Structure 1
Amino acid sequence: MLNLVNKVIFSTSREPSLRVRSFLKDIISLAPWLVKVNRGKLTFKDLVDITISEKSTTFVIIGEKNGNPSIMRIYDVSDYLIKNAVLHAYTLFIKGVTLAREANRPSSPGYVDDAIIEGSLPPDEEHRNLTFALIKMFGSSIIPNAESSNVLKIQIKGYPNSGWMLNFKKSGSNEYVGPRIFIGKVKKVGEYMSVSESESDGKEGGN
């Protein structure tokens, strides 16, 4: 069966640490439509162009602090050719990650052709923003596609005044797969930015 979900492009800040590279590998192992792009010397505009060439509308840049994944910025290129600008949609602030190998989990769920967020849309605004950010980041939905039987399930567990833990399962299985991600804060940005405004590239503050 063909994948039912559009591609999402993932990359990192420049010169990522080994741990960030491992985290990126864990993420893209969760579903075949999650595509890794090695940053190397690529500029922000190069990432925009690659996203468009892959017929995708979304790319995610993972930033780091002290060698650990610390932030994920989610961008939308849907209006780029019209506005010559990219929408910075959401930013997720990472408190910590446990890699799949550290949690003794498989890195991949096997074949999946859809992804869903478990549960209903929460009333809390920041939790809702997290849900919408994950929908965009994983090409997922809250209601599963009726044709899909091989589904990646994304679980969100909230901790009052602390953040949210993300875990992943395949439908029909009780086994967790992939990394465990602790999100401390989510910000709905919703701002258009020119490519030239995005060229600074620090480990945590830049792209």
Structure 2
Amino acid sequence: MESQTALVVPDEDNCMVVYSSSQVPESVQSIISRCLNIPEHNVRVITRRVGGGFGGKAIKAMPMSINYYTFILPVAAACALAAYKLRRPVRTYVNRKTDMILAGAGRRHPMKINYTIGFKSKGKITALHLDVLINAGMSIDVSLIIPWNFVGSLKKYNFGALSFDIILCKTNNSCKSAMRAPGEVQGSYIAEAIIEHVRLTFR
């Protein structure tokens, strides 16, 4: 599988042509335009078939800016900055070991989940409340989408009245990142565990 790569070629009229292995080229365009202080239409991003990114090429291939937090993740943006300053093509290639540290070290978001469930005598679930603590690691990365995906994956079952308190926790661990359906795997797991828990009460 291709590691994190980027090639940036300065073009005429203060334009930049960016070849990036990112899964989200529209975000690469937006962030590079802000980084270089040029209009978005001056940044052309070309992404060939990514194939097998599994989330590792969603955020780690570019810098990410959410609200007032900025995390410089140095592949496409660093390459664009160098090409812009040098006015010549620049290519960045991250070797496999560094790529695994950059894209793979975050892994999935660990969670601590307590739940309270209500159900009728025949097993029909009428209510579910969850208290969820999500370990986001030392920086935000994609953590803001995890609660949304987590709750969305719970809705495969009709739990009746559904309520939840979800807290993203900043910890001293490595940052967690997108990895093959981020948040949805954890949500699916807890949904199945709850159904199994209810089933076992009727043995």
Which TM bucket (shorter chain)? Answer: under 0.3
- Point out which structure has higher relative CO (alpha carbons under 8 A, 6+ apart): 1
TM-score calculated relative to the size of structure 1 = 0.22
Greater strand proportion: 1
- Of structures 1 and 2, the larger Rg is shown by 2
